[in-house]
Amino acid sequence: MKLVIQIPCWNEELSIAEAIGSLPTRIDGIDCIEVIVIDDGSTDNSVAEARRAGATEVITLPRHMGLAGAFSKGIEAAIERGADILVNTDADLQYPSDHISDLIRPILNNETDITIGDRLSARPSPFPPVKMLLERMGTGVIRVVSGADAKDAASGFRALNREAIQAMVIHDEFSYTLESLLLAGAKKLRVTNIAIPINTPTRKSRLFKNIPHYIIRSIVTITRIYLMYHPLRFFVSMGIIFLLGAFLIGIRFLYFFMMNGGKGHIQSLILLAVCAGAGFQCIILGLLADIVAANRRLLERIRLRELKKKEN
């Protein structure tokens, strides 16, 4: 049973060695532990520090590709190394490495496909009240949209079994955390949470400039990824809303037509036509998008089949 621990890293020369040194070297049920550092175009001495600290492999990206790009590269490396379990953690020491054994335990017991380190259940609260509220609201939206039982959608402290590793195809350039949960819901992967504390932050987040920026990017990501995985549901729902509006406008026009011949309400007919046209266009667009999504799912099945052939 091989465990691969991946650490995305961007200009973390002050903490990467300590992050690697804090990782467990032996875990019950695990025969081999490998550490992969994905250097996301660092301009400092992060690569040298990671190698000095004993990383199994340091993958250097040609340029800064962001957290999602680094995560995807780590997924590829884990597949190539034949990982049975992949753990993702950060280089800034936010997540406690001594909880990695707890993170992978449900996977070893075949109870789940993905385990998420839940920071929001920690006591005392790890974040200020406003951020806690936003984190809980965002997680609630992701839970409803994806169907995955996540209690901390933004947590990057995660463990994935082989099936989940092979299923991870991340398209978003902002962050993998939200899309991976939408993907988990679409693939019917089991998701489990374990409560974890977090260490005192060593620096400000580099993922977003401020809270409004994070909210906007998250909304855009959720909408785009939902459209990718559930286009028919989205566009048909929009179409039904427009058609319902057209129906209600039509009822209103008929009422006034019966009362006074519809004089002065010709605008209602124009609005009815616009809403009805938009409704039918949304439904047609949903059908076309669903065909594209079906083609993408077919390509993903082919990819998985080729991965399994390589394993054999």
Q: What is the pLDDT of residue 124?
A: 77
Report CA-CA distances (Å) from 131 to 101, 134, 211, 215, 303. 28, 5, 8, 11, 39
* Residue 27 pLDDT > 70: yes
Provide the residue type at 4 as one letter.
Answer: V
| Per-residue pLDDT tens digits for 217-254 | 778 888 888 888 889 999 999 999 999 999 999 898 88
Contact 35, 7 (CB under 8 A): yes
266: pLDDT confidence band, cut at 50, 70 and 90?
confident
| Per-residue pLDDT tens digits for 144-154 | 988 899 999 98
Provide the residue type at 68 as one letter.
Answer: A
Q: What is the pLDDT of residue 175?
A: 76
Write the DSSP string, the chain: -EEEEEEEESS-TTTHHHHHHTS-S--TT-SEEEEEEEE-S-SSSHHHHHHHTT-SEEEEPSS--HHHHHHHHHHHHHHHTT-SEEEE--TTS-S-GGGHHHHHHHHHTTS-SEEEEESTT-SS-SS-HHHHHHHHHHHHHHHHHH----S-TT---EEEEHHHHHH-----SS-HHHHHHHHHHHTT--EEEEE---PPPSS--SS-SSHHHHHHHHHHHHHHHHHHH-HHHHHHHHHHHHHHHHHHHHHHHHHHHHHHTTTT-HHHHHHHHHHHHHHHHHHHHHHHHHHHHHHHHHHHHHHHHHHHHHH-
* Residue 308 pLDDT > 70: yes
Provide the residue type at 310 as one letter.
Answer: K
* Residue 69 pLDDT > 70: yes
Mean pLDDT, the chain, as a whole number? 88
* Mean pLDDT calculated for residue range 7-34: 93
Which residues does residue 5 pair with via DSSP β-bridges, in sequence order? 35, 87
Indicate the pTM of the whole model.
0.81
* Residue 215 pLDDT > 80: no
| Opening angle at CA 161, ends 224 and 115, nearest 5 | 70
Q: What is the pLDDT of residue 81?
A: 92
Q: What is the pLDDT of residue 164?
A: 94
Q: How far apart are CA 14 and CA 46, in angstroms?
A: 8
| Per-residue pLDDT tens digits for 79-130 | 999 999 999 999 988 899 999 999 999 999 999 999 999 999 877 777 778 8
* Residue 206 pLDDT > 80: no
Contact 116, 152 (CB under 8 A): yes
* Mean pLDDT calculated for residue range 169-196: 88
Residue 129's CB is within 10 A of a number of other CB atoms, namely 8
51: pLDDT confidence band, cut at 50, 70 and 90?
very high
Query: Would you state the structure tokens that stand for residue 196, as one six-digit string?
Result: 């974890």
Q: How far apart are CA 269 and CA 105, in angstroms?
A: 63
